Structure 1
Amino acid sequence: MVSRVIPVAPFDLIVFGGTGDLARRKIIPALFRRYLAGQFEDGTRLIGAARAGLSPVEYRLFAKEALKEFSAEYDENSEGLEDFLNLLDYVPIDATGDDGWEELKTKTSTDRVQAFYFSVAPSLFGALAERLNSYEIAGSQARVVVEKPFGRDQETARALNATLAEHFDETQIYRIDHYLGKETVQNLMVLRFGNMMFEPLWNNHYIDHIQITVAETVGVGGRGAYYDKSGAMRDMVQNHLMQLLCLIAMEPPAIYDADALRDEKLKVIRALQPVAPHHIVRGQYEATDTAPGYREDAGNLRSFTESFVAMRCEIANWRWAGVPFYLRTGKKLRARTSEISIIFKALGHSIFEGDTTPHRNILSIRLQPNEGIDMTVTVKEPGPGGMRLIDVPLDLTFAEALREADAPEAYERLIMDVIRGNQTLFMRGDEVEAAWGWTDPIIEGWEARHDVPKQYVPGSSGPEDALMLLHRDGRRWRDIKA
């Protein structure tokens, strides 16, 4: 099965921060794949803008090196590579001054879709938005794409929303979370709302608890200065894990529409209960004989910033009353994996003599590294000797079952959704502010208590206290495995 590619009308995409790490690793390779897929019509313009004083030719060389390093489709001698590079243009620009703006105005048109990708620090959002309007660069079809972190608390998020709102309507603002562009995340909605067998069971009568794990094997590396001011709570829980929780827990929207979907996610965030201190575990990976610990990587030997966090959350509504949601994320863990696991309740009674093991059906949605879904079911163990029951997975790995080797990756899908004007997979301003409103008291609480993160061994599943978080409830974490 091959994805059906629908070309889009010619558009302009201007990437502020066009020489930055995100542009190099994600944006330029994503655009290259969409170009090779035949999604760009003649007349499309891709423009990098940054402080560096590069010429368009030098920027194309920069993009070529980025593709060589980060694109599996790179072929030095391919005609497609040269054609794509010839689409690229560049403008040296001063985000807070006047240099470059008149030149940029000559390279884009207000009579078509214009996507302005703010791949820069949030402190520059206001300056960029103001100049796009004062120089009359942005037209009525302009869209603005902003990356996380969208603020560092509710107050700063509210201020950023207000700044953008001075120059753009909410329908023009696309707050991007690349997790929502993953094929499996979107399939989660279809799994719930497109299959009769699941939705009737999606409640506290049948579900025992839910686990959401986002584990990384890498440390903070070159992001130490940023990460030490953020931590796992701000960097991952407030956005990525919160979005996954909302999609799992939300009520069915009336229609598959951007605002209808985001209305339901907002209700989930507002129903989240405050988290008690004994339901939170923070951790920091420690140094080993061969590798530095978090504090060395962050360049702060007295840091109390967490590289791991686990928590027990509850949602106060009729569907989820009494069902705990366990969230965990961390760096330098055993394997790189992102997984949502819905653990159903055990049978109240077994008719099979001698079967004393509590069997549970588990629906597991894998976001990475191998996107797919599996369902653990109880079956008879093959062979003679009576009814011996075992639990086995029914596996659906998308790349194998659907043969979607060429399916768009997250950034590809989200960038093209911006061009089409589809906000379904993007966060709304009130949603972001509500998420911070739940997160802020948790952070303020451990800062007031002077909590110290628990040390954990790199390559493990995190601190021992995180295991006890579930053991106290008579449960256990799913194994972290690739």
Structure 2
Amino acid sequence: MREAVSKLLLFGATGDLAKRMLLPSLYGLHADGLLPQGLEIYATARSDHDDAAYRDLAKAALDEFLPDDRKDESHIGGFLDRLFYQPLDASKTEGFDDLARKIGDVSGGLAIFLSTAPSLFEPTIAGLKSAGLAGDNVRIGLEKPLGHDLESSRHINDAVARAFPEDRTFRIDHYLGKETVQNILALRFGNTMFEPVWNANGIAHVQITVSETVGLEGRAGFYDDTGAIRDMVQNHMLQLLALVAMEPPAQFDATAIRNEKVKVLQSLRTIGKEEVATHTVTGQYAEGAVGQQPVPGYAEELGKPSTTETFVAVKAHIDNWRWQGVPFYLRTGKRMPRRQSEIYIQFKAVPHSIFAERGGALQPNKLIIRLQPEEYVRLMVMAKEPGLDREGVRLREVPLDLSLTSAFAGTRRRIAYERLLLDLIEGDPTLFVRRDEVEAQWSWIDSIRAGWQSGGITPKSYAAGSWGPSSAIALTERDGVTWHD
């Protein structure tokens, strides 16, 4: 781990992400005494504010997005005193010298958080370099999207690398900051009972679902150019898959963990034009009802016809010794019946049931790791129902629950960005994504999208409020598997 920096620079500091997540997260760290003493936070965007006007904007954001029990006027006042603002058009190099003068001495280290349109990444990096804001004691955090395919991702990464080497580049996937996601590592590598069966001998299949009830939510332009497979599968879902499937790292550090993740991502079996029809499903929501409220279809929300997918399901395989023959089913979509993110692991059935002749029916064990909205780990096991068994043995599936909310009731649950921003400030890259991971993810996704294009595959319609097109059910049922809804 590097030394903590003395200054933080936020690009895109008047945007929605800054108001909803970054400023409340930084305030939470400040209120809990976790920010380095004397850390100054510089904000920049095109808007023409001075320090006082930006502090007013930040105060309004905290009033709106902080929970009531976190609002403390004395802490808020101290936090606002840390904030400074410099207007900047990042597409033009000349404004960066003024930004550098505003920030002043960076000998104590500078961390930069870049939350701008991808088209501004390259000129922003060039501007930082020209103004002397890319030295050896400066590190940069990059908010996605990092490109729209492998070629554009490499172009962005090359531009970043011209000023910031890999060890000073922090690519952000906010899912990796979630407590439950990190608990995947604790569950797997901190308990002896799972590792012996965490492989093709013990696991029948894995499902990863990230479902949303919302539609476009003001992201129409971005989303229609992106679609579900690039918005969710390429980053969040493949990172979850890598954490579930990775080999045990030698130690808990950035290099060891990311080395094992990239091995998984590079072992994903390519889904090309011959396989896309049988291994993928793509859909787009039509009008329907979510939570008993009628909602319009995607094209109606967008205001024009579109072939962009709002739902995708994929049957993936990892070609290595541990996972040979185990399907990983990935599913994500908008306008689903419920908002949830979960990993569902079905173990193989016991090799021989001693209860069958007495009428006892067994179900395979299941492990459910729920990431949101609740956070829990649930292991489904078989138990005998109470009784004298005169007419046979009755068995029932019962849950062994670990509610993380209840188990750690005295501990405040933090926004994922709190951890990631603190790690950026302190220089810990463990929960950030390395370049070879990103490129392995894009390579796999690009093959699927090329297969859709060459095969003329367009999204099938599904009613808003449903679990996607009927072909998504067929994707798993062909293997005798049912989605865990």
Bin the TM-score by the shorter chain: over 0.9
Contact residue 273 and residue 314 of structure 1 kept, 8 A: yes
2:386 paired with 1:376? no
Identity among equivalent positions (%) equals 47
The yes-or-no answer on 1:391 pairing with 2:387 is no
1:288-326 Cα distance to aligned partner (Å, 9 max, x none):
48321111222332x111100001001111110110000
Contact 1:75 1:81 in 2 (8 A): no
Change (3 A) 1:405 1:462: farther
Write out aligned runs for 1:74-473 (5 A): 78-97=73-92, 98-99=94-95, 101-275=97-271, 276-277=275-276, 278-288=278-288, 290-301=294-305, 303-352=306-355, 353-355=357-359, 357-385=361-389, 386-473=392-479
Distance change (3 Å), C-alpha of 1:390 and 1:266: same
CA deviations on 1:125-153 (whole Å, 9 max, x unpaired) are 12111221211133322111111111100
Change in Cα spacing, 1:403 to 1:288, as seen in structure 2 (3 Å) is closer
Q: Could you tell me how far 1:348 is from its partner in structure 2? A: 2.3
| Range moving further from structure 2, 377-386 or 157-166 | 377-386
- Aligned partners of 1:235, 1:103: CA distance in 2, in Å? 32
Q: SS of the counterpart of 1:174? A: strand
Give the stretch that moved more between structures: 182-191 or 443-452.
Answer: 443-452
Residue identity matched to 1:306: E
Distance 2:321 2:206 in 1: 16
Tell me, what secondary structure is at the counterpart of 2:308? coil
Aligned partner of 1:408: which letter?
A: R
Separation in structure 2 between the aligned mates of residue 195 and residue 250 of structure 1, nearest angstrom: 16
The whole-number CA distance in structure 2 between the counterparts of 1:42 and 1:425 is: 24
Give the 3-state SS of the residue equivalent to 1:90 in structure 2. strand
The alpha-carbon distance between structure 1 residues 77 and 202, as it changes in their structure 2 partners (threshold 3 A), is: closer
Cα pair 2:97 2:131 within 8 Å, conserved: yes
Q: Bigger shift: 448-457 or 416-425?
A: 448-457
The Cα of 1:105 is off from its aligned counterpart by 3.0
Distance in 1, matches of 2:401 and 2:13, equals 40
Contact 2:360–2:394 (Cα < 8 Å) also in 1:
no
DSSP 3-state at the match of 2:218 = helix
- Deviation larger for 441-450 or 232-241: 441-450
Q: 1:357 to 1:220 in 2, by over 3 A?
A: farther
Equivalenced residue count is: 471
Structure 2 distance, partners of 1:122, 1:105, is: 25
Alignment CA distance shift 1:360-1:125 (3 Å): same
- In 2, Cα distance between equivalents of 1:161 and 1:313: 27
Following TM superposition, by how much is the alpha carbon of 1:73 offset from its aligned partner in structure 2, in angstroms?
A: 4.5
CA contact (8 A) 2:369 2:378 kept: yes
TM-score, normalization by structure 1: 0.94
Equivalent residues of 1:10, 1:42 under 8 A apart: no
The answer as to 2:18 corresponding to 1:18 is no
Q: For residues 203-241 of structure 1, what are the alpha-carbon distances to aligned partners after superposition, in whole Å with 9 as ceiling and x for unaligned? A: 101100000000111011211111011000000001000
- The structural deviation recorded for 1:55 is 1.3
Is the contact between residue 337 and residue 369 of structure 1 (CA under 8 Å) also seen in structure 2?
yes
Q: CA deviation at 1:398?
A: 0.9
Secondary structure of the residue that 1:357 maps to in structure 2?
coil
Alpha-carbon separation, structure 2, partners of 1:131 and 1:372:
45
The Cα offsets for residues 45-103 of structure 1, whole Å up to 9 and x where unpaired, read as: 11110010011111111111111221115777621112211211110012122125324
Unpaired stretches in structure 1, ≥5 consecutive residues: 1-7
Aligned partners of 1:120, 1:404: CA distance in 2, in Å? 36
Q: Note if contact 2:4-2:427 (Cα within 8 Å) is conserved in structure 1.
A: no
Letter in 1 for 2:151: E
What are the Cα deviations for residues 21-46 of structure 1, in whole angstroms up to 9, with x where unaligned?
Answer: 11111111111111111112431111
Q: Is the 8 A contact 2:100 2:132 kept in 1?
A: no
Q: Is the 8 A contact 2:6 2:108 kept in 1?
A: yes
Q: In the aligned structure 2, how far is the partner of 1:356 from the partner of 1:300?
A: 56
Distance 1:259 1:10 in 2: 21
Is contact 2:295–2:464 with CA below 8 Å preserved after alignment? no
Partner of 1:427: helix, strand, or coil? Answer: coil
The 1-side partners of 2:13 and 2:233 are apart by 27
Question: In the aligned structure 2, how far is the partner of 1:64 from the partner of 1:310?
Answer: 42
- Residues 378 and 64 of structure 1: CA distance in aligned 2, closer, same or farther (over 3 Å): same
Deviates more, 1:396-405 or 1:309-318: 396-405
Structure 2: runs of 5+ lacking an equivalent: none
Deviations, residues 252-305 of structure 1 (Å, cap 9, x unaligned)? 12222212211111111111112222110111110248321111222332x111
The one-character-per-residue Cα deviations of 1:428-453 (angstroms, maximum 9, x if unpaired) are 11111111111101001111222121
| Conserved 8 A contact 1:115-1:419 | yes
